[in-house]
Amino acid sequence: MKLKGTPLTAVLLLLAAFAVAALAGLNFKAMWAEDDFVPAQGFEKKMLSAWFEGLAGTPADTPVYIQKGTEPGGVVLILGGTHPTEPASMVTATLFLERAQVTKGSLIVIPQANLLGFTHNSPQEAHPQSISFPTADGGKRTFRYGSRLTNTIYEWPSPDIYIHPASGQQLPGKERGNLNRCYPGVPDGSITEQVAYALTELVRRERVDLAFDLHEASPEYPVVNAIVAHERSMELAAMTTMDLEAAGIMMRLEPSPKNLRGLTHREWGNFTETMPVLMETGNPVQGRLRGRTDERLALTGADKAYVKAAALGRLYIPYEGDQKIEYRVGRHATAIMSFLLNLDLLNEERGVLLENIPTFEELQENGVGAYLAPLKL
């Protein structure tokens, strides 16, 4: 059967093609629009390139916010957005950025560590482009939902094998775009390795006492709802784990594997004097068992497939039909506050104390958006 066309059908098909291309272009451009943050009073904004000039003028140069308390103490870093597909990480860092009032020591917050990861989506994952939260003033806060890896435009061409410079460890080539496989970084490496180098320099030069790297993981992954601690951080992490479990928040405590290289909890401990801690919450969007992947799933974690998997005992988290972002952010925020109290208890000179952070129960009751600052018009 032959299909006959006319000049009119040709024009219509051409217009349709242009419309699809224009829509794709608009979606692509939207991922480059910067997210809005409203730092609490007392925060000073710098750029990561202040610790490594090689990032200056590049799209990887991400904001760094620092607040100093009135009482001398230590320095704590909260790193969010290492993997932009793990929203509780960035949202928790944002919560501290927009709420924290430091009374002792200094707090450094980086909500989007891998800024280039927020400029695109992971291919073939059907992830949403953004997530939104209603705020107390009736408005809305929207944040990009990016990719686990640095935008491939800036990591092209990827090698077949990524050889970790500090250890010689070999990984698939795409892992060169995974910020948490590139530490301690190198100043003349790929753009992701340069970001890792700048962050390591920040930790070293600012003499960070305690450094948090916030993450999420799939419910079927063994290291989830967990604290991963370098041996230098283990005593503090053990105290915090016991405190959390006494409060009804169950938490695994895992030692940082010495033979798994390139991650914050290993390399920051090896190459700086900080006590590094990586924390994971359970996020069904990360998993392979999930169904429809959209903003609702990212925010609620509700998925029928995971209900079945939980009934079969295939998950490493308690799952009763959902895994709301309020729960995930609450776990991170509560753990951070517990760590800070224990740090001050163990060593007052290195202590950092904060006020104005909502409790786990308050986040569950009122939602994350209630504690995000309204945007200034």
Whole-model pTM: value is 0.95
- Domain ranges in the chain are 16-371
Question: Per residue in 315-327, pLDDT tens?
Answer: 999 999 999 999 9
Instruction: Look at domain 16-371 and name its CATH class.
Output: alpha beta
Residue 3 has pLDDT above 60, yes or no: no
Give dist(CA 224, CA 280) in Å, integer. 5
Token look-up 């003028």 returns 57
State the pLDDT at residue 2.
57
Please indicate whether residue 99 or residue 23 has the higher confidence score (pLDDT): 99
Token pair 């950092």 is found at 352
Summarize the confidence of residues 296-305 as an average pLDDT. 97
Count of Cβ atoms closer than 10 Å to residue 136 Cβ: 13
- Alpha carbon distance 324, 193 (integer Å): 33
Q: State the pLDDT at residue 173.
A: 97
Residue type, 332: H
Give the CA diameter of the chain. 84
Cα gap 298→218, rounded to integer Å: 12
Q: Is the dihedral of CA 112, 268, 317, 358 positive or negative?
A: negative
For 193, 205, 377, the CA distances from 51, given in Å and listed in that order, are: 14, 8, 32
Q: What is the DSSP string of 199-262?
A: HHHHHHHTT-SEEEEEEEE-TTSSS-SEEEE-GGGHHHHHHHHHHHHHTT---EEEEPPTTS-S
* CA distance linking residue 352 with residue 75, whole number of Å: 7
Element (H, E) at 341: helix 325-346
pLDDT at 294: 95
Give the residue-averaged pLDDT of 221-249: 97
* Per-residue pLDDT, 184: 98
Identify the pLDDT of residue 25: 78
DSSP letter for 323, please: -
Instruction: Give the count of beta carbons closer than 10 Å to the beta carbon of residue 366.
Output: 13
Residue 58, pLDDT > 70, answer yes
pLDDT in tens, 306-350: 999 999 999 999 999 999 999 999 999 999 999 999 999 999 999
Which residue, 130, 68, 73, is CA-closest to 101? 68
User: Are residues 308 and 296 in contact, defined by beta-carbon separation less than 8 angstroms?
Assistant: no
Contact indicator for 374, 139 with CB cutoff of 8 Å: yes
Name the pLDDT band for 267 (thresholds 50, 70, 90). Answer: very high
Rounded CA-CA distance 193/165 in Å is 9
As a whole number of angstroms, the distance between CA 181 and CA 195 comes to 12
Tokens of 132: 């939104």
